[in-house]
Amino acid sequence: MLSSHELQRYSRHLLLKEVGHEGQARLKQARVLLIGAGGLGAPVGQYLAAAGVGRLVIIDDDLVDVSNLQRQVIFNTDDIGQPKSLVASRRLRALNPHIEVEGIQARFSATNAAELVRQCDLVVDATDNFPTRFLANDACVLAGKPYVFGAVFRFDGQLSVFNFRGGPCYRCLFPAPPKAGTVPNCAEGGVLGVLPGIVGTMQANEALKIILQCGDVASGRLILFDALATAFHSIKVARDRLCPACGDSPSIRDLGANAVIEVDVKAVAQLLADGDILLLDVRTHEERSICAIKGAKHLSLDEIMSGTCSLDRERDMVLHCKSGVRSRLAAEKLMSMGYKKVRSMRGGILEWIRSVDQGLPTY
């Protein structure tokens, strides 16, 4: 039931026959999980909140950085250093006090993915890395929830809806992550500031159509947007009967089977000082020339992913990279090779600089 204040707020929705009172009630009852509160997550969250989606759960473990403000328009200068999920949830509650917004300052991981996805009606992925995308997809397939995908890089954007009414999942398009280090993220390759706003708004549009049960949802299609040419292209994506996630005989049945344990940078600092761990830096030589953690040994990601490295299987190891993405990939590889005492340093060397050694230069 909509209150008089809600009737006023959503009056432009109520005039649409595709929405009306029934559709607005659906929005009020809907529960959406938003993974990531950055460039894509900002417009997604703002438009879903404004539209009256009844419950939004935002999970993100990152802090607001000055470099975010070029595109992440939900934040301002005073928010620098604050948790993105908590700032975003506060702003969205101020935007629409009629909805519930929960901010979770944590990484979306194999330990929490299943429960978070189970509690929602659909998932909007606003992240910027492949491990999280594959995890989100697999969790949605296992729970039978639609997965709204978006991605941006430089001047190009991508959009699709996976696992919707028997349609393909993300693994039907990309069966496995690309070779680590071959696809740069926005921090490494840059992104036009307005592009996440365009793609994020499109993701919000798909989420609303799913909830309202109207329109042609972008399932079975990968929408490509070229910001320089202002051009859209659509590629058909078919369900792969051999897909390891949604195929006829799926092999992915447990999100936690290869979960990588992450450890906080301050705990790593203490373990390193006590000589209790081998800290492995999996970044490139070029990155190490900018900054490096004293006592860390270098073993490149390429060496690990090639499967040719040989390490002490009895030694506790913690891997680190720039932000924590590549180190998780490397840890997964070592675990697949039989190494048991492997962890990843949460947040990478950037978090180390913020929390442990501010004297190191950043990049």
Q: What is the SS3 assignment for the chain?
A: CCCHHHHHHCHHHHCCCCCHHHHHHHHHHCEEEEECCCCCHHHHHHHHHHHCCCEEEEECCCECCHHHHHCCCCCCHHHCCCEHHHHHHHHHHHHCCCCEEEEECCCCCCCCHHHHHHCCCEEEECCCCHHHHHHHHHHHHHHCCCEEEEEEEECEEEEEEECCCCCCCHHHHCCCCCCCCCCCCHHHHCECCCHHHHHHHHHHHHHHHHHHCCCCCCECEEEEEECCCCEEEEEECCCCCCCCCCCCCCCCCCCCCCCCEEECHHHHHHHHHCCCCEEEECCCHHHHHHCCCCCCEECCHHHHHHCCCCCCCCCCEEEECCCCHHHHHHHHHHHHCCCCCEEEECCHHHHHHHHCCCCCCCC
pLDDT of residue 179: 59
CATH of the domain at 318: 3.40.250.10
pLDDT of residue 187: 64
The verdict on 77 and 180 lying in the same domain is yes
pLDDT of residue 257: 52
pLDDT of residue 338: 84
pLDDT of residue 258: 54
Sign of CA dihedral 74, 79, 80, 81: negative
pLDDT of residue 336: 79
Cα 168 to the center of its chain, rounded Å:
20
pLDDT of residue 188: 63
pLDDT of residue 279: 97
pLDDT of residue 212: 98
CATH of the domain at 224: 3.40.50.720
The verdict on 141 and 223 lying in the same domain is yes
The verdict on 335 and 280 lying in the same domain is yes
pLDDT of residue 251: 81
pTM of the model: 0.77
Helix axes 41-51, 84-95, angle to 10 degrees: 30
Identify the segments of the chain with pLDDT beneath 70: 178-188, 256-259
The verdict on 73 and 133 lying in the same domain is yes
In a domain, 247, yes or no: no
Give how many domains the chain has, as a whole number: 2
pLDDT of residue 131: 86
Domain that holds residue 321: 261-355
